[in-house]
Amino acid sequence: MNWINKTIQFSVFSFLKIIVINIIIFLLIIIFIEGSLFALRSVLGKESLGFFVSRSIPKDICKTMQTNPILSHMHNTKGLCKINGGKTDEHFVYYLPNSDSDVIVTLGGSTTSGFYQHYSDGYTYPLMLQDLVKEKNYQVVNGGVGAYTTSQELLKLITEVRRLKNVKLILSLNGINENTDTYILHPFITDIQYSMTESQYWIDQRSQFQGKLLPNIRNFLAHIIPKNTTKSTKKYYEIDYIYNSFDPATKWLMNVKAMHAVSNSIGAKYLVFLQPIMGLNGPQSRMPSNHESNDAKLLKTLEVSDINIDYINSLNEFYNTAREYCNQLEYCFDISNIAPPSNKGVYSDVRHHNKAGNKIIADAVLDLINPFI
């Protein structure tokens, strides 16, 4: 019987040994793949996802977003974003928190957003405007969010801005986000909202703050495994014939008129500014004399590909019509020619001004709002 017991013990031991060895080999393979993908992201210059366990906090917390069922997306910084000159509650950046001063609200996209610190070291035009109006007993509350169009500005005005106290003036700096591909069938939603609806994809805000195992392998598999999506927009195509179709400039006009009306309903004055952007016909596409300056190099990048040329043509088409509409509105101001490319450099990239450019914009906005404050 002893030899039987020994045989059984040996068999169990051998079986367990094989299992342990295979587990070790499997773990080594996983570690090797995860490490290789981790190294590959570094070689390709992509942001690190962490090794083996994803970072619990993103590298640039100020850029993180979460889904909002009305606005499509909003900031999701958990109060961890260090904002130059301000504090936040996720919907707004307050440059004079706890102040009982009258409020100026700024709306817009990434060129306005107080969360984004990477374009101008946080020296946004609203922050600089705050310095200019402080002595007039006004505080600036920045409601800008990257990628927002006037459609989302309108919705934010209705759902969030009118909850604020002492709002006297609402400023919209917009134009460059209006020319999207979805306006023909769905004029009042953005590309982001359209794609989220079509693919049933929503931002998983939890993953931005909770560590996950094997982040690099997860990311790799997400790119090679087809997603099981539900197409939910076909029913809209079937009834599109009963709806009007709007070009981007008409959509912009309808939105700013609506924002003007909503602002009046809460006792606030509404002003909209057609924003400057590199590549517009006129001063914004004029090459600086110093061809080695940063602005000159940025301007040259707009001339090197068909994609950029199509983008510029489309942008100018929108602005040509939007300017005509703007001239018909007493509360609209065209400042699209200010802060053009220069030898000193006023642009951070082809769509965003740097600190010097934002100072020019803030000064121009102050001159135009002075009669109202």
At 218, list the tokens.
Answer: 């997860």
- Which residue range(s) make up the domain with 89? 61-193+245-372
Instruction: Establish if 277 belongs to a structural domain.
Output: yes
Instruction: Establish if 328 belongs to a structural domain.
Output: yes
pLDDT digits (tens, 9 = 90+) for 114-171: 999 999 999 999 999 999 999 999 999 999 999 999 999 999 999 999 999 999 999 9
Find the CATH number of the domain harbouring 174. Answer: 3.40.50.1110
pLDDT digits (tens, 9 = 90+) for 116-129: 999 999 999 999 99
* pLDDT value of residue 219: 75
pLDDT at 49 over 80: no
pLDDT digits (tens, 9 = 90+) for 309-364: 888 999 999 999 999 999 999 999 999 999 999 999 999 999 999 999 999 999 99
- Average pLDDT on 223-235 reads 53
The residues near 169 (Cβ < 8 Å, ≥ 6 apart) are 102, 103, 104, 105, 138, 268, 269, 270, 271, 369, 372, 373
Instruction: Establish if 84 belongs to a structural domain.
Output: yes
Instruction: Establish if 224 belongs to a structural domain.
Output: no
Instruction: Establish if 233 belongs to a structural domain.
Output: no
pLDDT at 298 over 90: yes
Domain count, the chain: 1
Regarding pTM above 0.85, the answer is no
Instruction: Establish if 292 belongs to a structural domain.
Output: yes
In terms of average pLDDT, the best of 40-49, 74-83, 255-264, 296-305 is 255-264
Instruction: Establish if 220 belongs to a structural domain.
Output: no
Share of the chain above pLDDT 90, in %: 55
pLDDT at 307 over 70: no
pLDDT at 234 over 80: no
pLDDT at 187 over 70: no
Q: Residue 231: which pLDDT band, with cuts at 50, 70 and 90?
A: very low
Instruction: Establish if 80 belongs to a structural domain.
Output: yes
In total, the chain counts a number of residues equal to: 373
